[in-house]
């Protein structure tokens, strides 16, 4: 379960303070797929970053319940949030999702190494087959197409069995055919893993894949 309790977040844009989120509240149940929809600058990425603990709310709190324990992200130290992210979050970005100097297989194995879950290696690598990347394990990211890179990112985000998967415009950089394939695979794999998937998008097509829709305004 993810719960935003009256969360506000401001940023400095030059010398001007800009409020991105004002007393924003919502709740998402475990194992559901949620889409965050809104125009650019409406705070979609901010919501993802707050869930991931990359940002901290200026007021209000973000609560995440994992294995029956509720975590208050605002009250956690930076190190504790890093540990939480490492164990429980899988993040997929629009661009630059992979480490350029690691191969496909190494990119997928990286979160397992960080969490110490080497026992999941076979499962994680086998997911590459399901994602249509068989035979590309030893390729470097620059040798893959955009769609392939994004599929590797999905495999990497799911590798350590995180409870929450955050995807920031995962199809924003892909053509329609690839976008459809990637979002289908993402939703399918997240559901198979029982993870909560939060998708930030301004594509109605992608948003249509979600169980729950949250609209954000500028």
Helix (H, G, I), strand (E, B) or coil at 207: helix
Report, in this order, helix, strand and coil percent for the chain, each rounded to 5. Answer: 40, 30, 35
Closest C-alpha to 2, from 27, 25, 37, 21: 27
- Asked if 156 and 109 count as a contact pair (C-beta separation under 8 A), the reply is no
Region binding other proteins by CB under 8 A among candidate stretches 20-28, 59-67, 85-93, 189-197? 85-93
* Least spacing, CB of residue 178 vs other proteins, in Å: 21
The site for other proteins, by CB under 8 A, has a size of 29
| CA 200/CA 169 separation, integer angstroms | 5
Which residue in 33, 46, 97, 189 binds other proteins (CB under 8 A)? 97
Residue 181 C-alpha from the chain's centroid: 17
* Least spacing, CB of residue 111 vs other proteins, in Å: 6
- Asked if 141 and 113 count as a contact pair (C-beta separation under 8 A), the reply is no
200 near other proteins, rule: CB under 8 A: no
Our CB check for other proteins shows the closer of 4 and 84 to be: 84
| CA 144/CA 50 separation, integer angstroms | 31
- Asked if 161 and 120 count as a contact pair (C-beta separation under 8 A), the reply is yes
Our CB check for other proteins shows the closer of 102 and 211 to be: 102
Query: Using CB under 8 A as the criterion, what x/- string covers residues 102-121 for binding other proteins?
Result: x---x--xxx-xxx------
212 near other proteins, rule: CB under 8 A: no
* Least spacing, CB of residue 127 vs other proteins, in Å: 17
11 near other proteins, rule: CB under 8 A: no
100 near other proteins, rule: CB under 8 A: yes
* Least spacing, CB of residue 172 vs other proteins, in Å: 14
- E strand or H helix that includes residue 16: strand 16-28
Residues that bind other proteins (CB under 8 A): 49, 52, 54, 78-79, 82-87, 89, 91, 93, 95-102, 106, 109-111, 113-115
């Amino acid at each position: 379960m993810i719960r935003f309790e009256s969360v506000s977040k401001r940023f400095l844009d030059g010398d001007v303070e800009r409020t991105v989120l004002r007393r924003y509240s919502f709740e998402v149940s475990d194992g559901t797929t949620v889409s965050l929809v809104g125009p650019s600058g409406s705070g979609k990425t901010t919501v993802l970053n707050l869930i991931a603990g990359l940002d901290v709310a200026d007021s209000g709190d973000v609560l995440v319940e994992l294995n029956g324990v509720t975590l208050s992200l605002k009250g956690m130290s930076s190190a504790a949030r890093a540990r939480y992210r490492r164990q429980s979050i899988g993040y997929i970005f629009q661009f630059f999702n992979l480490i350029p100097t690691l191969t496909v297989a190494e990119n997928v194995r990286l979160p397992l190494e960080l969490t110490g879950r080497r026992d999941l290696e076979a499962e994680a690598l086998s997911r590459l087959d399901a994602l249509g990347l068989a035979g590309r394990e030893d390729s470097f990211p620059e040798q893959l197409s955009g769609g392939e890179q994004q599929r590797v990112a999905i495999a990497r985000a799911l590798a350590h069995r995180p409870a929450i998967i955050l995807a920031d415009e995962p199809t924003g950089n892909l053509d329609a055919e690839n976008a459809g394939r990637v979002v289908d695979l993402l939703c399918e794999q997240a559901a198979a893993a029982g993870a909560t998937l939060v998708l930030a998008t301004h594509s109605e097509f992608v948003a249509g894949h979600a169980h729950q829709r949250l609209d954000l305004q500028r």
